[in-house]
């Protein structure tokens, strides 16, 4: 692991008289390229103490529903088995994040946790660190989810991809580090926890909101993620330069796995870049999305205050143009109910919405088109923003991600530029059905979505 991934919060001597090395796992729900797990395993061997991997399910966590939980819990159940095979206790606890993690600190020899980026996840970590320091517990935060650690990439809210790109490209090779796992020598603790129950019981215990149910099209888990990555590399990667076309289905569909940390971006970068000689244009196009676009979104939520509120999420020029066009006539208005039922006059929007509702995923180009249409069909920009973000985070398995906030803010000009002025949109970029028809065989996309079934694969 590269040393830049580690932030020591409290470096007091270890508490040798206590029971376990505590690793609170939240962001990196995997074994591979999990630097926090690497550090925790190493500490367990060095201090000859059992390792407790703690995972906390917080039933009050904002916007989480049955779809998100089932995907995550599928991953956790296989992770539990893999950890146990390595002599590591997987302790699943249920309750509000901070209080529940803090409960486990008093018996810890040393405390390790992974880094979070959104406001809510950072606030929990801050509270937990305060409690750990108050207990004089040595505490280390380890960055697992980005290729270039966030504060090494940049120390400010970046304006656009072009301002962050050179900073990332300069450093990326330094941070393609492997995580080396050294299984603990000490026998694991076997204290009873929710981890002993099956996934269905976890779901019942957290009383997940079942209004949006598990996607039959995606199953969570590290092994599935790694297998999907290899299939993508073998079969689709070299066609990625044509992946902008939603009718072709050439994208990796790895975003749900990246979101839950079931897949490491470092691993994806390494495996994909190994194909550089085979098809350089496609590989470079993919790495641009994975490195530059994704890490720009993390920069956005980490440094740009108010990234998730209408009044603060975009740039001044964008507010000015939206304000200037606030009173423009909006001839077509739809409600959230119309969207939920994919019932508008626009077959392309309806197809995209159906993909979102039934599968929990949507092609990137259609995400842009879908959002731009909701802007066009809303009474005002604030309502549009709130509707888009709500639907995004409710239906997408990869929702509530830094990419969610950056993607939605992009619809309102963030990380974009001014375009030709027009009604409603002002200088915000506009998209219409004629563009879809001109560029793609969009009817083929619609036909594919028409074949989607609520409970079986197409």
Ligand X SMILES: Cc1cc2nc3c(=O)[nH]c(=O)nc-3n(C[C@H](O)[C@H](O)[C@H](O)COP(=O)(O)OP(=O)(O)OC[C@H]3O[C@@H](n4cnc5c(N)ncnc54)[C@H](O)[C@@H]3O)c2cc1C
Work out whether 7 is an interface residue with ligand X (CB under 6 A): no
Decide if residue 416 touches ligand X (CB under 6 A): no
CB atoms within 10 A of CB 292: 19
| 368 lies in the site for ligand X, by CB under 6 A | yes
Closer residue to ligand X in complex, CB, 167/367: 367
**Segment interacting with ligand X (CB under 6 A) among 165-173, 176-184, 391-399, 421-429:** 391-399
Q: Which residues have a Cβ under 8 Å from the Cβ of 410 and sit 6 or more positions away? A: 368, 416
Taking CB under 6 A as the rule, does residue 146 contact ligand X? no
- Contact between 360 and ligand X by CB under 6 A: the answer reads no
CB of 290 to ligand X, least distance (A): 4
Asked if 410 is part of the footprint of ligand X (rule: CB under 6 A), the reply reads yes
Nearer to ligand X, 129 or 304 (CB): 304
Cβ–Cβ < 8 Å for 222, 30: yes
The one among 50, 116, 184, 371 contacting ligand X by CB under 6 A: 371
CB of 375 to ligand X, least distance (A): 10
Binding to ligand X by residue 78, rule CB under 6 A?
no
Q: Report in angstroms how near the CB of residue 449 gets to ligand X at its nearest.
A: 15
- The nearest distance, CB 283 to ligand X, in angstroms, is 12
* 53, 408, 428, 442: residue in contact with ligand X (rule CB under 6 A): 408
Closest approach, Cβ 287 to ligand X, in A, equals: 9
Question: Which residue stretch of 127-135, 189-197, 319-327, 397-405 sits at the interface with ligand X (rule: CB under 6 A)?
Answer: 397-405
Told to check if 121 binds ligand X by CB under 6 A, we report: no
Q: Could you tell me how many residues of this chain bind ligand X (CB under 6 A)?
A: 28
- 3-state SS, the chain, equals CCHHHEEEEECCCCCCCCCEEEEECCCCCCCCCCHHHHHHHHHHHHHCCCEEEEEEECCCCCCCEHHHHHHHHHHHHHHHHHHHHCCCEEEEEECCHHHHHHHCCCCEEEEEEECCCCHHHHHHHHHHHHHHHHCCCCEEEECCCCCCCHHHHCCCCCCCHHHHHHHHHHHHHHHCCCCCCCCCCCCCCCCCCHHHCCHHHHHHHHCCECCCCCCCCCCCCHHHHHHHHHHHHHHCHHHHHHCCCCCCCCCCCCHHHHHCCCCCHHHHHHHHHCCCCCCHHHHHHHHHHHHHHHHHHHHHHHHCCCCCCCCCCCCHHHHHHHHHCCCCCCCCCCCHHHHHCCCCCCHHHHHHHHHHHHHCCCCHHHHHHHHHHHHHCCCCHHHHHHHHHHHHHHHCCCCCCHHHHHHHHHHCCCCCCCCCCECCCECCCCCCHHHHHHHCCHHHHHHHHHCCCCCCCC
The stretch near ligand X (CB under 6 A) out of 7-15, 88-96, 115-123, 363-371 is 363-371
Residue 147 contacts ligand X per CB under 6 A: no
Told to check if 367 binds ligand X by CB under 6 A, we report yes
Q: Which of residues 217-246 bind ligand X (CB under 6 A)?
A: 243
- Binding track over 289-318 against ligand X, x by CB under 6 A: xx--xx--x---------------------
Q: Which of 26, 262, 403, 427 binds ligand X (CB under 6 A)?
A: 403
Q: Given the complex with ligand X, which of 91 and 334 has the nearer CB atom?
A: 334
Residue 364 interacting with ligand X (CB under 6 A): yes
Instruction: Decide: 115 and 153 in contact? Cβ < 8 Å.
Output: no
Measure the CA angle with vertex 168, ends 309 and 250; round to 5°. 75
Rounded Cα distance between 59 and 166, Å, is 41
Q: Which stretch binds ligand X (CB under 6 A): 45-53, 99-107, 150-158, 394-402?
A: 394-402
Q: Which residue, 303, 319, 318, 431, is CA-closest to 366?
A: 431
Binding mask 249-278 for ligand X (x = CB under 6 A): --xxxxx--xx-------------------
C-beta of 18 vs 262, nearer to ligand X: 262
**Which of 360, 407, 413, 426 forms a contact with ligand X (CB under 6 A)?**
407
Q: Which of 140, 307, 396, 425 binds ligand X (CB under 6 A)?
A: 396
| Comparison of 47 and 259: residue with beta carbon closer to ligand X | 259
Regarding 374 and contact with ligand X (CB under 6 A), the answer is no
For position 71 contacting ligand X by CB under 6 A, the verdict is: no
Q: Nearest to ligand X by Cβ — which residue?
A: 407
C-alpha–C-alpha distance, residues 347 and 29, integer Å? 38
Rounded to an integer, what distance in angstroms lies between the CA atom of residue 255 and that of residue 218? 11
Calpha distance 328→325 (Å, rounded):
5
389 belongs to the binding site for ligand X (CB under 6 A): no
Give the interface with ligand X as residue ranges (CB under 6 A): 243, 251-255, 258-259, 289-290, 293-294, 297, 364, 367-368, 371, 392, 396, 398-399, 401, 403-404, 407-408, 410-411
């Amino acid at each position: 692991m590269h040393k830049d991934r580690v932030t020591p919060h409290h470096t007091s001597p270890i508490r040798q008289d206590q029971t376990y090395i505590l690793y609170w796992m939240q962001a990196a729900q995997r074994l591979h390229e999990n630097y926090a797990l690497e550090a925790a395993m190493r500490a367990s061997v060095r201090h000859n103490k059992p390792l407790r991997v703690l995972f906390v399910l917080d039933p009050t966590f904002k916007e989480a529903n049955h779809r998100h939980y089932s995907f995550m819990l599928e991953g956790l159940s296989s992770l539990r088995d893999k950890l146990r095979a390595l002599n590591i206790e997987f302790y699943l606890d249920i309750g509000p994040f901070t209080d529940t993690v803090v409960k486990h600190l008093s018996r810890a020899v040393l405390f390790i946790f992974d880094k979070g980026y959104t406001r809510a996840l950072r606030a929990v970590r801050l509270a937990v660190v305060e409690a750990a320091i108050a207990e004089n517990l040595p505490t280390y935060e380890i960055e697992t989810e980005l290729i270039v650690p966030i504060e090494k990439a940049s120390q400010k809210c970046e304006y656009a991809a072009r301002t962050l790109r050179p900073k990332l490209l300069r450093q990326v090779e330094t941070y393609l580090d492997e995580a080396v796992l050294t299984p603990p020598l000490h026998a694991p603790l076997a204290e009873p926890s929710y981890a002993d129950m099956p996934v269905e019981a976890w779901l019942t215990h957290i009383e997940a909101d079942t209004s949006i149910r598990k996607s039959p099209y995606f199953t969570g888990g590290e092994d599935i993620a790694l297998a999907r990555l290899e299939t993508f590399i073998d079969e689709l990667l070299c066609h990625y330069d044509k992946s902008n076309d939603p009718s072709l289905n050439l994208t990796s569909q790895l975003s749900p796995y990246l979101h839950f940390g079931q897949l490491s971006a470092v691993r994806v970068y390494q495996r994909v870049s190994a194909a550089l000689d085979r098809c350089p244009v496609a590989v470079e196009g993919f790495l641009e999305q994975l490195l530059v676009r994704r890490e720009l979104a993390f920069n956005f939520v980490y440094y740009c205050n108010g990234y998730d509120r209408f009044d603060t999420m975009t740039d001044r020029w964008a507010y000015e143009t939206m304000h200037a066009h606030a009173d423009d006539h909006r001839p077509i208005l739809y409600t959230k109910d119309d969207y939920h039922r994919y019932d508008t006059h626009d077959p392309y929007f309806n197809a995209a919405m159906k993909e979102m509702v039934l599968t929990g995923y949507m092609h990137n180009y259609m995400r842009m088109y879908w959002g731009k249409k909701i802007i066009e069909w809303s009474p005002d920009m604030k309502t549009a923003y709130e509707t888009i973000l709500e639907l995004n985070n409710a239906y997408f398995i990869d929702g509530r991600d830094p990419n969610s906030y950056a993607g939605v803010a992009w619809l309102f000009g963030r990380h974009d530029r001014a375009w030709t002025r027009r009604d409603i949109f002002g200088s915000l970029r506009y998209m219409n059905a004629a563009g879809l028809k001109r560029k793609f065989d969009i009817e083929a996309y619609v036909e594919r979505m028409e074949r989607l079934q609520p409970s079986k694969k197409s």
